[in-house]
Amino acid sequence: MSKQTETMTAIANKIADLMETNGTDWVKPWVSGAALSSLPINAVSNKTYRGINLLLLAGRSTPVWATYKQWADKGAQVLKGSKGTGIVFWQPVKRKDAKGNDESFMILRNYTVFNADQVEGYEYVAPTPIDCKVQTLPHVDEWVLNTGADVRTGEAQAYYNPRQDFVNMPARELFIDTDTSTATESYYSTLLHELTHWTGNPERLDRVKGKQFGDDAYAFEELIAELGATFLCAQLGISNDVRPDHAQYIKSWIKKLRSDPKFLFQAASKAQKAIDLLNDYSYEVEEVAEVAA
């Protein structure tokens, strides 16, 4: 084994050890935003309605909805004469084609829902306003803005949408302190993770994320994003150490790290390219602004 391979193996094993120590209970560092917002939510799942349904269900003083059966299952009764509101969902369907192969497609389903104002036996309790625990870091917010990334706050989920090329973030007030990070660290590290994904767009660094959770390409891209977030947190002064929650997030790929130490170094190299690109975008804007001034 060469000296370089020994070094890479030692570092990969060190990271893997950290994963094993801290990686058993990754905690999502934000709470569900459905109960804290005015967006329409389902009374049973507590999930926010999405897409066109947001428009169809807008305008009510109470944001809670459910089907007739769902209300009945909750012990509530839709008031006589109440008019339901139609909504739609795309439902995946699987079937065999002419050759006996499995195929899947989406079919549009229609449902009728009723607002909590239209039922008896259910009392809507407005959510208690919460204080935002995320400390605003102006220099980081400016850095993110200068990258030109389209960052939205429409759902209580953190993700990058490659088709529409935007990053979605939960609202800042939804982030909480955990045993390993403050709400501020959690918010910004999550944002930087998704921004690293953003650099993988075909028009930028053209990385392949993978087709499904758990495959090697998906795991590799997630490792790149988490390493990118870790490095950027240090660069931007959010946190200087590799916090246990980073290891917790990427624990699922520990087997790959153990078997192939180069996996980590290859991911780190691509994470650095992502960081360089983000810095090029951000600091180029600052340089132009200085020249213009």
Residue range 26-65, pLDDT digits in tens:
556 666 555 455 678 899 988 878 767 876 787 787 889 9
Domain identity same for 26 and 42: no
| pLDDT over threshold 80, residue 154 | no
Q: State residue 38's pLDDT score.
A: 64
Residue at token pair 């980590």:
264
Domain identity same for 107 and 202: no
Domain identity same for 203 and 237: yes
Domain identity same for 110 and 178: no
Q: Which amino acid is at 22?
A: N
Q: State residue 289's pLDDT score.
A: 46
pLDDT higher at 93 or 139: 139
Q: State residue 24's pLDDT score.
A: 45
Domain identity same for 46 and 86: yes
Domain identity same for 164 and 216: yes
Q: Tell me if 60 sits within 8 A of 82, measured CB to CB.
A: no
Q: Which of 211-215, 238-242, 271-275 has the highest mean pLDDT?
A: 271-275
Between 5-19, 121-135, 166-180, the lowest mean confidence (pLDDT) is in: 5-19
The pTM of the full predicted model, rounded to 2 decimals, is 0.63
Please state, as a whole number, how many other Cβ atoms lie within 10 Å of the Cβ of residue 136: 10
Last residue of a domain, one of 97, 120, 143: 120
Percent of the chain with pLDDT over 70: 72
Domain identity same for 271 and 141: yes
Q: State residue 291's pLDDT score.
A: 44
Q: State residue 204's pLDDT score.
A: 95
Domain identity same for 95 and 178: no
Domain identity same for 151 and 259: yes
| pLDDT over threshold 50, residue 293 | no
Q: State residue 27's pLDDT score.
A: 55
| Average of per-residue pLDDT across 125-142 | 84
- Contacts of residue 17, defined as CB under 8 A and 6 or more positions apart, other chains included, come to none
Last residue of a domain, one of 120, 138, 164: 120
Between 97-106, 170-179, 256-265, the lowest mean confidence (pLDDT) is in: 256-265
Whether 125 maps to a domain, the answer reads no
What confidence tier does 220 reach under pLDDT thresholds 50, 70, 90? confident
Whether 11 maps to a domain, the answer reads yes
Residue at token pair 């917002």:
37
Domain identity same for 78 and 152: no
| pLDDT over threshold 80, residue 266 | yes
Domain identity same for 174 and 262: yes
Which range of residues forms the domain containing residue 79?
38-120
State the burial class of residue 79 (Cβ atoms within 10 Å of its Cβ: 0-12, 13-18, 19+): exposed
Give the whole-angstrom CA distance, residue 115 versus residue 216: 44
Total number of domains in the chain? 2
Between 73-87, 150-164, 234-248, 269-283, the lowest mean confidence (pLDDT) is in: 234-248
Domain identity same for 142 and 275: yes
Last residue of a domain, one of 78, 101, 120: 120
